[in-house]
């Protein structure tokens, strides 16, 4: 690894982010999903969000053809889902509490929020693809989020609010 790549990873690893699990279904209506922390809002009119995925990911080809997906914003107590959906376990959904939404996408239960989207645009960006979704449905439970910072996962410290 070059010095510049190491410095890049260190700098961005020091930037805290929320943790999401992006889910969708394949042509056989089987759910798939993975942990994503490269998530951001894009636009209010229309409502757009984005996330990115490494082109080497086993699920990359599935997401490139998915017409709908859900961004499940993990709650502070869902570290197990972060770990599960970042693993190589074949049937991750067998170990998660989830259901299929009215829009036909798998959604995880008890999350901080769920944004159900239709694929709006995909952008080639180096070794990643940026997926932009138009938000169709929002479920906002107002729970505290799960955070990722310096390779650690956890909740916002209570002292942050004091």
Contact 67, 31 (CB under 8 A): no
- Contact call for residues 112 and 145 (beta carbons, < 8 A): yes
d(CA 44, CA 41): 8
CATH class given for the domain over 3-161: mainly beta
Reported pTM: 0.91
Q: List the pLDDT tens digit at each of the 162 positions of the chain.
A: 678 887 777 776 766 678 999 999 999 999 999 999 899 999 999 999 999 999 999 999 999 999 999 999 999 999 999 999 999 988 999 999 999 999 999 999 999 999 999 999 999 999 999 999 999 999 999 899 998 766 777 777 766 566
């Amino acid at each position: 690894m070059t010095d510049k790549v190491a410095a890049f990873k260190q700098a961005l690893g020091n930037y805290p982010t929320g943790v999401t699990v992006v889910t969708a279904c394949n042509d056989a209506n089987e759910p798939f999903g993975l942990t994503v922390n490269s998530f951001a809002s894009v636009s209010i009119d229309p409502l757009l969000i984005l996330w990115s995925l490494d082109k080497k990911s086993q699920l990359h080809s599935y997401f490139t053809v998915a017409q709908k997906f859900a961004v499940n914003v993990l709650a502070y107590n869902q570290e197990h889902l972060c770990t599960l959906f970042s693993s190589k376990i074949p049937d991750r959904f067998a170990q998660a509490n989830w259901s299929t939404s009215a829009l036909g996408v798998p959604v995880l239960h008890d999350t901080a929020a769920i944004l159900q989207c239709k694929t709006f645009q995909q952008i080639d960006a180096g070794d990643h693809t940026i997926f932009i979704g138009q938000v169709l449905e929002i479920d906002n439970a107002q729970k505290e989020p799960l955070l990722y910072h310096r390779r650690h996962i956890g909740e916002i410290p209570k002292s942050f609010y004091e």
